[in-house]
């Protein structure tokens, strides 16, 4: 089974800049022949995101804040008009208010908890529901998670709780959408220096300890997450759904 996506349409959420995991996955899907719609969050990111997106031949850029139902509805009307059918959806979006990742987990606020769940978890349900009617030939939905869902990573805090909910959401969506031949999986990436990791205290130390403890004795590269995204998007992974695949150089298997 090849990983060609010739004749397939894909929508990718979460490109902020060239370091974004979403951008790596978009590039891998593009190289495999997919026709791409790529979304960015808001006007603040528009300039940088659009320059990048339009550098991929054939790719189109759309704005969508996934915390707004109206923006999701509007986007999928546009996608239906423009592409008709959809085969792949990539969800590479997460957010918690900055204080939630600085303070002790014990200090988590009701509003911070709500926002983390809304943007990082509920959005996957909303996007899957909007995309499913366009996935007439079946499809593949892919989201991004992190080891902090399973084990305590100091300061990951309410995002760890959100990623645990996200991984569980992947299983429930995989059950509902299985009968429509739509697969739903998550990639659990090792730490990567993206915009979402910038300014996080001790991130440099995390990269160092990851590199020392991982069986492959190095940090993961964003292209390796991109190629796993392509694998999960393509027929090469046709028997896999509801799964969390680690792309972390083996870090998660170690006990000591
Ligand atoms: P990134 O900052 O490039 O991507 C995060 C994206 O989320 C941005 O494009 C941002 O605009 C978008 N976003 C936030 N709120 C949004 C909203 N309301 N509507 C629409 N978009 C919104 O960083 P990244 O590291 O590429 O993160 C992508 C995903 O990968 C996230 O789910 C993150 O949790 C996950 N992840 C990251 C790492 C890492 O170490 N960087 C590791 C494992 C998993
Ligand atoms: O999922 C993430 C980060 C997600 C994220 C990042 C930010 C920074 C800016 C969510 N919300 C925000 N809010 C902001 O205001 N990762 C897996 C990367 C990450 O973040 C950490 C990590 C790792 C790894 C935070 C603390 C400890 C480890």
Tokens encoding 120: 């990082």
Query: pLDDT-derived band of residue 199, with 50, 70 and 90 as boundaries?
Result: confident
Residue whose CA is at the smallest distance from ligand 1 atom 29: 92
Query: pLDDT-derived band of residue 198, with 50, 70 and 90 as boundaries?
Result: confident
* Predicted pLDDT at 93: 98
Q: In whole angstroms, what is the distance from residue 228 CA to residue 28 CA? A: 9
Residues 75-94 pLDDT 10s: 999 999 999 999 999 999 99
Q: Is the CB of 165 under 6 A from ligand 2?
A: no
Candidate from 26, 92, 156, 186 with most ligand 1 atoms within 8 A of CB, to mutate = 92
Give yes or no for residue 128 having a pLDDT over 90. Answer: yes
Candidate from 11, 12, 13, 14 with most ligand 1 atoms within 8 A of CB, to mutate = 14
Q: Is the CB of 76 under 6 A from ligand 2?
A: no
Give yes or no for residue 212 having a pLDDT over 90. Answer: yes
Q: In whole angstroms, what is the distance from residue 165 CA to residue 169 CA? A: 6
What distance in angstroms lies between residue 1's CA and the mean position of ligand 1's atoms? 31
Compute the half-sphere exposure of residue 9: CA atoms within 13 Å on the CB side of its CA. Answer: 16
Query: pLDDT-derived band of residue 161, with 50, 70 and 90 as boundaries?
Result: very high
What distance in angstroms lies between residue 45's CA and the mean position of ligand 1's atoms? 13
Q: Locate tokens 């902020």: which residue?
A: 16
Q: φ, ψ for residue 139 (rounded to 5)?
A: -175, -175
Ligand nearest to the CA of 246: 1
Give yes or no for residue 99 having a pLDDT over 80. Answer: yes
Query: pLDDT-derived band of residue 57, with 50, 70 and 90 as boundaries?
Result: very high
Residue whose CA is at the smallest distance from ligand 2 atom 25: 156
* Predicted pLDDT at 154: 95
24 touches 229 (CB < 8 A): yes
- Stretch 154-176: mean pLDDT: 98
Higher pLDDT, 120 or 197: 120
* Predicted pLDDT at 2: 85
CATH superfamily of 9-250: NAD(P)-binding Rossmann-like Domain (3.40.50.720)
Tokens encoding 216: 């492959």
* Predicted pLDDT at 190: 98
Give yes or no for residue 129 having a pLDDT over 80. Answer: yes
Q: In whole angstroms, what is the distance from residue 231 CA to residue 210 CA? A: 24
Three-state SS sequence of the chain: CCCCCCCCEEEEECCCCCCCHHHHHHHHHHHCCCEEEEEECCHHHHHHHHHHHCCCCCCEEEECCCCCHHHHHHHHHHHHHHHCCCCEEEECCCCCCHHHHCCCHHHCCHHHHHHHHHHHHHHHHHHHHHHHHHCCCCEEEEEEECHHHCCCCCCCHHHHHHHHHHHHHHHHHHHHHHCCCEEEEEEEECCCCCHHHCCCCCHHHHHHHHHHHCCCCCCCCHHHHHHHHHHHHCHHHCCCCCCEEEECCCHHHCCC
Active-site positions read 146, 156
* Predicted pLDDT at 227: 98
Q: In whole angstroms, what is the distance from residue 25 CA to residue 40 CA? A: 14
* Predicted pLDDT at 201: 86
Give yes or no for residue 95 having a pLDDT over 90. Answer: yes
Give yes or no for residue 207 having a pLDDT over 90. Answer: yes
- Stretch 57-73: mean pLDDT: 98
pTM, entire model: 0.98
List residues near ligand 1 (CB under 6 A): 14-16, 20-22, 41, 45, 65-67, 92-95, 119, 144-146, 189, 191-192, 194-197
What distance in angstroms lies between residue 226's CA and the mean position of ligand 2's atoms? 19
DSSP state of 55: T
């Amino acid at each position: 089974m090849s990983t060609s996506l010739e004749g397939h349409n894909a929508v990718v959420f979460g490109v902020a800049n060239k370091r974004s995991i979403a951008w790596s996955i978009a590039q891998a899907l593009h190289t495999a022949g997919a026709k791409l719609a790529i979304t960015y969050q808001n006007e603040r990111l528009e300039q940088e995101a659009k320059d990048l997106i339009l550098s991929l031949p054939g790719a189109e850029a759309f704005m969508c804040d996934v915390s707004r139902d109206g923006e999701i509805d509007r986007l999928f009307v546009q996608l239906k008009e423009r592409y008709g059918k959809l085969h792949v959806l990539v969800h590479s979006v997460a957010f918690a208010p900055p204080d939630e990742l600085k303070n002790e987990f014990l200090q988590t606020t009701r509003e911070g908890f709500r926002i983390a769940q809304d943007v990082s978890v509920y959005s996957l349900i909303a996007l899957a529901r909007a995309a499913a009617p366009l996935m007439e030939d079946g499809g593949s939905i892919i989201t991004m998670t992190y080891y902090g869902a399973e084990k305590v990573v100091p300061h990951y805090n309410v995002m760890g709780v959100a990623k645990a909910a996200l991984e569980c959401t992947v299983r429930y969506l995989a059950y509902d959408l299985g009968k429509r031949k739509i697969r739903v999986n998550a990639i659990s990436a090792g730490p990567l220096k993206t915009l979402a990791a910038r300014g996080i205290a001790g991130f440099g130390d995390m990269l160092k300890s990851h590199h020392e403890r991982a069986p492959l004795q190095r940090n993961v590269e964003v292209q390796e997450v991109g190629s796993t995204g392509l694998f999960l998007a393509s027929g090469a992974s046709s028997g896999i759904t509801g799964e969390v695949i680690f792309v972390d150089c083996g870090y998660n298997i170690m006990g000591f």
